[in-house]
Amino acid sequence: MTTLPEIAAAFSSAKAAIDIVKGMISLKSQVEVQSKAAELLTIIIDLKSQMQAAQVAHAALEDRCRQLEREARERQRWDQDKTNYLLHRLTAGGVVFRFKAPAGDPRPQHDLCVLCAEKDVRSVLQPSDPVGWTKTLKCHACGSVVMDERIEQPFSVGAHRRDGWEPFT
């Protein structure tokens, strides 16, 4: 990153180059001129290197600035969108943030992970393997499992006979 010392060094090099050119004007012999020209060339090369480093650092700062602006816009959008979610207790006892669609919103009904939403991460819960006789939803961001609803247990009523089972009709 560009810092004040780097910028000050570039200005110092430029000032030294200007001073050498002023000094070259008053020189009388060819040897003195060549000596000062070589010194000037060294300073100009150093100045060019410092300017390139400053350019690279400036580009990195611009990229970081764009990234921070993008993150700020996303956070602002998420803060606005949070108002469309309400805490909801599922029939099996799990708690989720349920989407409450505003009028004209084409997004489907969905639930968000409470743990992730509190960390400003939007993670839609997905159906997962049942646990016992309960359907579950899983957050793939943090791995939490939320109990959704109980699965009705099928049963049949029948009578036992000596020759086997006979369901009542």
Kindly give the confidence (pLDDT) of every residue in the chain, 169 residues in length, as a single tens digit, with 9 standing for 90 and above: 446 667 777 777 777 777 777 777 676 677 777 777 788 888 888 888 888 888 888 889 999 999 999 999 988 888 888 888 999 999 888 999 999 888 888 888 899 999 999 888 889 999 999 888 889 999 999 999 999 988 887 766 555 556 665 665 5
pLDDT given at position 111: 93
Position 68 scores a pLDDT of 95
Residue 98, pLDDT score? 92
Token duo for residue 141: 């961001």
Secondary element (H or E) of residue 155: none
* pLDDT number for residue 142: 93
CA angle, corner 163, sides to 162 and 168, nearest 5?
85
Please tell me the pTM assigned to this model.
0.52
Angle at 104 between CA 100 and CA 107, to 5 degrees: 55
What is the distance between the alpha carbons of residues 93 and 70, in angstroms, rounded to a whole number? 37
Instruction: State the pLDDT at residue 155.
Output: 66
The type of residue at 136 is T
Whether the CB-CB separation of 93 and 45 falls below 8 Å is answered with: no
- Cβ atoms of 66 and 73 within 8 Å: the answer is no
Q: How far is CA 108 from the centre of its chain?
A: 24
Q: In the prediction, which pLDDT does 106 show?
A: 87
44 Cβ contact list (under 8 Å, min separation 6) = 17
Q: Tell which residue, 38, 37, 48, has the closest CA to residue 13.
A: 48
Which own/partner contact pairs does 44-51 have at CB distance under 8 Å and 24+ positions apart?
Answer: 44/17, 46/13, 47/10, 47/13, 47/14, 47/17, 50/6, 50/9, 50/10, 50/13, 51/10
What residue ranges do the domains of the chain occupy? 4-80, 90-150
